Structure 1
Amino acid sequence: MLRLAPLAQSLRTACGARDIPVYEALCLSAGHYWSYCCPDAACCPREGRPVGASGTSAMAAAAAYAGIQVRGSLREMERRLTPLGSPVAEPQEKALDVASETLVPRMLAPDGCTAVRAQTLRLARSWIARLREALPDDDECARADAHDDALIGHEEAAAMIVGLQDRKTRDRAAEWMEGTDSRPALRLWRALARRCVGPYGEHAAAPLTLAGWVAWSEGDRPSARIALDHALRSDPDYVFARLLHRAFNDGMDPEPLRRCMRKERDARQGRRLPREHDPGSSVGRHLP
């Protein structure tokens, strides 16, 4: 502490010469801190004062009281979007092989694409409803994700992943962006991104983009940025991810896009089936 006192004094003097007042200068070492500015031994003793434990500051308490959530480290947020390894990867890859062989030919056929689209949306809608009810016992990210991963089977995950490769299906799925739909939808899209294992890495662009969109719509900008970045890593040419990424980085408000999606949904439902029967209608809103 004493060895650095001349440096601290030089910095204070240099700042003062530029009309920048220095009210405090501290030395932090070995879990203690010392003040270079406070002459009061009762306030700042020679042996220093211990640094408070992480998360126990007045600021941390105020943030908790205000309901501000810590999203976790960058590594933790990225892990939530990273494909799963053994023992899940091998059976999931096989399920994706089967789903691709079964669904892709139907998706390429004019008369089959509509049926696959409706099937995918019904399946996703049912899982969002289930995830809304099946809340994890622990809010810690890794355990919460493990809870969701254990619920969703390989075959159903594969069917949704392949089905979401259709642009119209993905756009309809993006309508689950607010209200009681958004949180379980975000959990589902993250879970599906983690199931894009092995050679199906590019398939993650769709669920990752949906995860980024829902996070942005809900005001979780850090999670949105990471999800959209990962989507573009999976497929740099994925247009929906590029558009959202550009709008996000330009500081746009997501509300105009939400309004467009609401109008599309309302117009579609007005032309076609009653709201409770539409595969893209709000999840669970009309479920018993």
Structure 2
Amino acid sequence: MTDNPLLLNGSEALVHQLPFLFDYHPENSVVLIGVTPAGELLGSVRTDLPADPALWPYVAEELITYQRADAARFKFPTHQIVAYICPDPDDPDNGPQSRLTHQPLADSIRDACRRQDLVLREALYVTRARYWSMLRPGPADGHALPEPPAGLDPAGLPRSSDVLKSLAPATGARAAAMTATLDAVLRTMHADILSGGHQSVVDDAIDLMTTTIAELVTGARQAEDTPDDLTARLLLALQYEDVRNIGLLHCEDHELTAANELWLALARHCPAAYAEQAAVPLALHAFTAWALGDEARSRLALQAADRCIPDQELTNFLIHELNSGASFTYLREHLRKHRVGRSSRTTG
């Protein structure tokens, strides 16, 4: 998240700030920020926009509770809440009708604020082209998104819906072929487990993954050209915790780009029929994107991973690290100790 570039006073300033909260345009999202009475930013939280209206009161209460805890770290004596409701751009009712449809969500956020002795300063419904206040009367067709002030142009920031679509499990003919390959490799792995046990499968997978990343580093292989059988073996083997953890260890500067490309290729080639298998490579892609300085990409990859398997351990760990402002450099030092220890055991 960028430093606060302007005081958040007035609807236009609030709209300007939205893409810079996470360094991407949040869509299909509910976002809450805390602000001081003077308009200074005190933390932000985001979650997917629930499709089921029955969940809106619960989500509103949970978000307010979480945002209040997040704002407490600033040690400011009092603060107010600003809410953003950002619809799915593919929603056919995106616009005035959808704004009315989601008014009860804004009402739930206002009611949750009152129960927790907080003031809801503003609630904005924001599309790609227009915005509306959900607390104050205004024109039915809303307001055009204002021109950004100098030095605060959000045009270069990605849109979350576009990135998440690119990270979603594959469909179509290509995915059908990959599904058949995964079915065949899964049968082979079961046979290998029966004959040699799980550890033999884990050891083979670690060797395969290490060799693949080494080939990517030297340019002997391109991630997008990874054969289907190799992709399938890695997708399935990464479900083992030991294999996943070795994937994390490939975090040195000279191998980060190669590892990042491999995890992305695995996730993008994973078919919808095996969607859960995409969660680990997506989380690893998020880890390496963070290491490479692309925090926005990292957060979106973690969203995609959570959609494949909610509350996965690795995903939750990385979300916590990002939200707490942890240093990748510090985490890498910790991982290096594990890598040295594993190498010592291997070489005797």
Give the Å deviation of 1:83: 2.2
The CA distance in 2 between the partners of 1:259 and 1:119, in whole Å, is 26
Q: CA deviation at 1:263?
A: 0.4
User: What residue is the counterpart of 1:127 in the other structure?
Assistant: 212
Over aligned residue pairs, what C-alpha RMSD do you find? 3.3
> Distance in 2 between the 1:135 and 1:105 partners?
31
SS at match of 1:272: helix
- Among 270, 278, 301, the alignment partner of 1:227 is 301
Whether 1:195 and 2:285 are equivalent positions in the alignment is no
Map 1:41-52 to 2 at 5 A: none
Please state whether the residue corresponding to 1:174 is helix, strand or coil.
helix
Residues in 1 aligned to 2:213 and 2:160: alpha-carbon distance in whole angstroms: 26
Query: Could you tell me which residue of structure 1 aligns to residue 169 of structure 2?
Result: 83
Q: Is the 8 A contact 1:92 1:195 kept in 2?
A: yes
| Structure 2 gap segments, 5+ residues each | 1-11, 13-149
Q: Decide which moves more: 197-206 or 120-129.
A: 120-129
Is residue 170–residue 272 contact of structure 2 (8 Å, CA) maintained in 1?
A: no
One-letter amino acid of the counterpart of residue 155, structure 1: D
Amino acid at match of 1:165: Q
Residue 99 of structure 1 corresponds to 185
Q: 1:91 to 1:114 in 2, by over 3 A?
A: same
**3-state SS in 2 of match to 1:88:** helix
Determine which of 323, 331, 335 is the counterpart of 1:261.
Answer: 335
| Structure 1 pair 238–94 and aligned structure 2 pair: CA distance change class (3 A) | same
Q: Which residue of 2 aligns with 1:250?
A: 324
Counterpart among 218, 237, 240 of residue 311 in structure 2:
237
Find the aligned partners of 1:110 and 1:212 in 2 and give their Cα distance. 35
Give TM-score scaled by structure 2 length: 0.51
Aligned to 1:211: 285
- For 1:184 and 1:178, locate their aligned partners in 2 and report how far apart those are by CA, in whole Å: 10
The structure having more radius of gyration, on CA atoms, is 1
**Which residue is equivalent to 2:236?**
162
Q: Is the Cα–Cα contact under 8 Å of residues 238 and 280 in structure 2 kept in the other structure? A: yes
Q: Assess if the C-alpha contact under 8 Å between 1:208 and 1:230 holds in 2.
A: yes
Distance change in 2, residues 1:215/1:116 (3 Å): same
- CA offset at residue 93 of structure 1? 0.2
TM-score between the two structures when normalised by the length of structure 1: 0.61
**Which residue does the alignment assign to 1:182?**
256
Structure 2 contact 171–272 (Cα < 8 Å) conserved:
no
Deviations 1:192-223 (A, max 9, x none): 01122132101111101111111112221011
Alpha-carbon distance in structure 2 between the residues aligned to 1:176 and 1:71: 28
- Partner of 1:173 in structure 2? 247
Residue 163 of structure 1, CA deviation = 0.7
Q: Percent identity?
A: 27
Q: Deviations 1:112-170 (Å, cap 9, x if unpaired)?
A: 2222222222222233233334499xxxxxxxxxx743x11111100000011100110
Higher strand share: 2
The question of whether the paired residues in 2 share the 8 Å contact of 1:202 and 1:235 is answered with yes
State the partner residue of 1:112.
Answer: 197
Number of residue pairs the alignment of both structures matches: 202
Q: Give 1:71 shift.
A: 6.7
Write the letter of the residue equivalent to 1:205. A
Kept in 1: contact 2:287–2:318 (CA 8 A): yes
Instruction: Go from structure 1 to structure 2 and tell me whether the alpha carbon gap of 1:263 and 1:199 turns closer, same or farther (over 3 Å shift).
Output: same
Q: Where do 5+ consecutive residues of structure 1 fail to align?
A: 1-10, 12-57, 61-69, 137-146, 275-288
Distance of 1:110 and 1:251 partners within structure 2: 46
Distance 1:104 1:71 in 2: 44
Q: Which residue of 2 aligns with 1:32?
A: none
* Contact 1:178–1:214, Cα closer than 8 Å, also in 2: no
Structure 1: distance between partners of 2:184 and 2:195:
21
In 2, Cα distance between equivalents of 1:265 and 1:148: 23
User: More displaced, 217-226 or 95-104?
Assistant: 95-104
Counterpart residue number, 2:227: 153
